[in-house]
Structure 1
């Protein structure tokens, strides 16, 4: 019995901690942005309704809500709006609002209908007009309807991510959506636990509120993860869209600066070809392509891969990867030193300068400069 009380206490702590984190996230997000874009709005509403639902459950289980019979078990069906808000966030994040419905009106209608119906059921129950068994049956029916509707939107979200990528090629140029795919996996676990809770409630194998404990705990953990990921990724996306336009305007200064690199390490053998190779990479800004490879360069210059590799190694005293990364780092340094780019995150700058991951960017920058991008930026101020 003591072990079960300890487990319950830990569960309650984790759930209320998740609720607090969710509300803090909402406050911090709205207070830190001058303009609240639709993706940020619906991401915050997703976290807000999830937090409200868990807070309400925690307060009810603790006995802090109504004490009267029947009404003490009444709750507002916030959980109806959780999945719809994430689906709306996804629609606006992928810029598909003109191609796909966000189902906002239908979701709000379902919420209002369930709220009114639930109020009527509990009013009749409190006046003895219906039996407790009928109220329990309604709860199970409402859970089933909400689960089915939420699952419907969840499946539509999965299809958007895995089947209809052709609808948003511009977004995929900046975000591979791996974080969304991870969320879909975690969301699938939550749905499985939700279905399990409904089964427990219908069969009576596990009684309320314990039947909802796994579901509430998993949703609380989801708040921690999706709050950071969604906000960070959207901020990164907007930064990269603007950065990509600005970086490509700086081709002249980058070309002049980059062309001077490796100038002192050239040898007479293959020097002219090496100069053409470097000129091509800089003039065409090929170093900004995170998937740029020695094979691609050889094809563009109509050279053999082995011959091109030898020329680069001989004249730069380094391999192809480090050779291209040196241009990327030079571009990053230029942007970090400019006040015009001070509002953009360092990670966004690194990714838009051609690095395919944050870790690769930080590693290459320190290898070329001996310090981290953060340290370099602080030295420029």
Structure 2
């Protein structure tokens, strides 16, 4: 019997297996509004978990205890990219449904499984372990390279979907902090970078060391990949679920045109209506609800804001909110109310959004602005 060679690296991998299994199960089996999207992300987590089980099985030489353990296919790296992309697709467009066409994206996994069975056949014939076979040495680097291309390419497409979604949010929601996916955008960027880092690892291993680097040499990559995958799954599960007031339909935005006289007149009228009725004080204001209040079609209202005022809906509404806060600060009659309290009074419902929007518009933070007013009044 072989002794288990425990060290800090494989202990981290073992921990990631248990943590990943927990979050993967929660994402797939917990009944939530975003369950269909979460299930796709849960599969991503389980694929990384299986990969880590393969890593540990080699490090601990499982075949000494379970002779035919290597028969179990544990590599599905060519489906990671499509799963992550369709998770984002589902998160950014609730009306999206799988069709037969989408299933074509998962066909490359057949290649990966075919290589696995070829390795098994050679292992049986030569009485070697799977990682000692010639096919493993010759084909696995190619599969790794294809997986890198796949993950990075699908990550780029996923980031594009998030950018389109963020634009849609800005054009339909006045305070979209609860709905934005900036956290997912950042994590997918990190996820893709980690996969890109496999390139120098693979080339150095293949060209310099003749594919002789051991599992321990790859531990930093496996650990980094495990951490970011679990991070994404934890964020996805622990964040409040998104419930949209209206369906997210990916419509083609009208081309930017020079505004007609009618649009300019409607833009002036719209600004007067905003001042008179102070619709911006409603923290749940959306393009559709404002259009209903103004007896306008949402498409026309969007055109008036975009072309007539050269703004998106979010910027248009939040400017009124920031100006209302500035007016209250300058009046000196609201010193007993905190900045956060003033922001809530003026239509914001998130401290993060309030600080970000205020700084974008005024160039300084709300606290700095308040102090500048106090200093000028002395």
TM-score for both structures, normalised by structure 1:
0.60
Distance of aligned partners of 1:180 and 1:319 in 2 relative to their CA distance in 1, 3 Å threshold: same
Distance of aligned partners of 1:143 and 1:97 in 2 relative to their CA distance in 1, 3 Å threshold: farther
In the aligned structure 2, how far is the partner of 1:183 from the partner of 1:103? 28
Which one of the candidate residues 273, 281, 288 is aligned to 1:285?
A: 281
- Give 1:110's aligned residue: 108
Instruction: Work out the number of aligned pairs and report it.
Output: 289
- Give 2:367's aligned residue: none
Structure of higher RCO (CA pairs closer than 8 Å, 6+ residues apart): 2
- Give 1:184's aligned residue: 188
Note the C-alpha offset of 1:112: 2.0
- Give 1:153's aligned residue: 154
Which one of the candidate residues 122, 125, 146 is aligned to 1:124?
A: 122
Instruction: Please show how residues 220-299 of structure 1 align to structure 2 within 5 Å.
Output: 220-233=226-239, 235-238=240-243, 241=244, 285-286=281-282, 296=320
- Give 1:193's aligned residue: 197
In the aligned structure 2, how far is the partner of 1:110 from the partner of 1:196? 23
Query: Is residue 32 of structure 2 the alignment partner of residue 9 of structure 1?
Result: no
Distance of aligned partners of 1:68 and 1:231 in 2 relative to their CA distance in 1, 3 Å threshold: closer
Structure 2 spans left out of the alignment, 5+ residues: 247-273, 286-313, 356-378
CA contact (8 A) 2:45 2:233 kept: yes
Which one of the candidate residues 348, 352, 357 is aligned to 1:357?
A: 352
Superposition RMSD on alpha carbons, in Å? 4.5
Distance of aligned partners of 1:210 and 1:203 in 2 relative to their CA distance in 1, 3 Å threshold: farther
In the aligned structure 1, how far is the partner of 2:184 from the partner of 2:232? 9
Distance of aligned partners of 1:40 and 1:319 in 2 relative to their CA distance in 1, 3 Å threshold: same
- Give 1:218's aligned residue: 224
In the aligned structure 2, how far is the partner of 1:86 from the partner of 1:97? 17
Post-superposition Cα deviations, 1:313-354, rounded to whole Å, max 9, x if no partner, equal 22x4446835534648xxxxxxxxxxxxxxxxxxxxxxx961
Distance of aligned partners of 1:11 and 1:107 in 2 relative to their CA distance in 1, 3 Å threshold: farther
Distance of aligned partners of 1:146 and 1:299 in 2 relative to their CA distance in 1, 3 Å threshold: closer
Deviates more, 1:95-104 or 1:118-127: 95-104
CA contact (8 A) 2:37 2:87 kept: yes
Post-superposition Cα deviations, 1:121-165, rounded to whole Å, max 9, x if no partner, equal 431354259994444111122222222222221222233334675
Structure 1 spans left out of the alignment, 5+ residues: 244-276, 329-351, 361-381
In the aligned structure 1, how far is the partner of 2:80 from the partner of 2:146? 14
TM-score for both structures, normalised by structure 2:
0.61
Distance of aligned partners of 1:227 and 1:79 in 2 relative to their CA distance in 1, 3 Å threshold: same
Distance of aligned partners of 1:212 and 1:80 in 2 relative to their CA distance in 1, 3 Å threshold: farther
Q: Which is richer in helix?
A: 1
